[in-house]
């Protein structure tokens, strides 16, 4: 059975800190790994990763994939209170099973 | 360019009633996915539909749950004879034809409460 595990499940830091969120996966016919940010509304797409070792970057957020070790990390530098959210990691396998397999998410709280 | 639209945002039903959840995909998207999120759990895939076709319903409970995506109109997730365990947030996502890497765009969800 496909599985995605995120850690930590929750994290509280102060504004300005740097955080690293982890995601490991076991998925047959793996095609891509996706990160979403979920506040009290729709999960918002952040990154899609398909190749190992290539960092994707958007402002203070960055992410990288290791297909050999089957994990990805999401980094947020100089955190702000607006970064407080649940960060979801999902694996996509395609090949007839087109739903995403999600982890439980990391609940990130940024304190002023 | 409107995103994925779901309605209602909140739905309250008594045990035994029917719940109908609606989803209009993003403009130009022909693939729709439904997910369920239970408290303290991740999003769980339920069903994947294209217009007039169910492609993958491997995550759907075998009884009481059904989904459709008609030629015209929104996709509907229907839950018959709801029970308290059906209380959850139901999210719809869409993707364009030919998406190969799995990027899906989500609606804001419908929060179903069963009394």
Q: What pLDDT does residue A96 have?
A: 56
Name every residue whose Cβ is closer than 8 Å to that of residue A24 and which is 6 or more positions away in sequence.
A4, A5, A7, A70, A71
Alpha-carbon span B90 to A83, nearest angstrom:
24
As averages over each run of 10 residues, the pLDDT of chain B (115 residues) reads 89 98 94 91 92 90 95 96 96 82 90 96
Distance of CA B18 to the CA centre of its chain: 15
Spatial separation of the C-alpha atoms in residues A26 and B35, rounded to whole Å? 20
Please state, as a whole number, how many other Cβ atoms lie within 10 Å of the Cβ of residue A96.
Answer: 10
pLDDT single digits (tens) A9-28? 999 999 999 999 999 999 88
Please name the residue that has the structure tokens 């506040």.
A39
CA atoms of B68 and A9, how far apart (whole Å): 34
- Hey, which residues 13-52 in chain A have their CB within 8 Å of chain B? 31-32, 34, 36, 41-45, 48, 50
CB contact under 8 A, B100 and A31: yes
**What six digits make up the tokens of B106?**
């989500």
Mean pLDDT for the stretch of residues A83-110? 89
* CB–CB contact B103 A97 (8 Å): no
The answer to whether the CB of B24 falls within 8 A of the CB of B74 is: yes
């Amino acid at each position: 059975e496909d599985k995605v595990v995120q850690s930590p499940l929750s994290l509280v830091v102060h504004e300005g800190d740097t955080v690293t969120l982890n995601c490991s996966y076991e998925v047959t016919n793996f095609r891509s790994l996706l990160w979403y940010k979920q506040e009290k509304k729709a999960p918002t797409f952040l990154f899609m990763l398909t190749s190992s070792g290539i960092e994707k970057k958007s402002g203070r957020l960055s992410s990288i994939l290791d297909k050999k070790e089957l994990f990805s990390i999401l980094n947020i530098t100089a955190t702000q209170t607006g970064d407080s959210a649940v960060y979801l990691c999902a694996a996509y396998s395609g090949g007839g099973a087109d739903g995403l397999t999600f982890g439980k998410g990391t609940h990130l709280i940024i304190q002023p | 360019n409107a995103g994925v639209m779901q309605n209602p945002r909140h739905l309250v039903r008594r045990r035994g009633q029917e719940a109908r959840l609606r989803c209009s995909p993003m403009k130009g998207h022909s693939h729709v996915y439904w997910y369920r999120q239970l408290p303290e759990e991740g999003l769980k895939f339920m069903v994947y539909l294209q217009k007039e076709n169910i492609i993958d319903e491997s995550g759907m409970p075998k009884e009481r749950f059904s989904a459709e995506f008609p030629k015209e109109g929104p996709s509907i997730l229907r839950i018959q004879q709801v029970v308290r365990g059906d209380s959850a947030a139901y999210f719809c996502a869409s993707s364009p034809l030919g998406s190969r890497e799995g990027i899906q765009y989500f609606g804001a969800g419908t929060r179903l409460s069963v009394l």
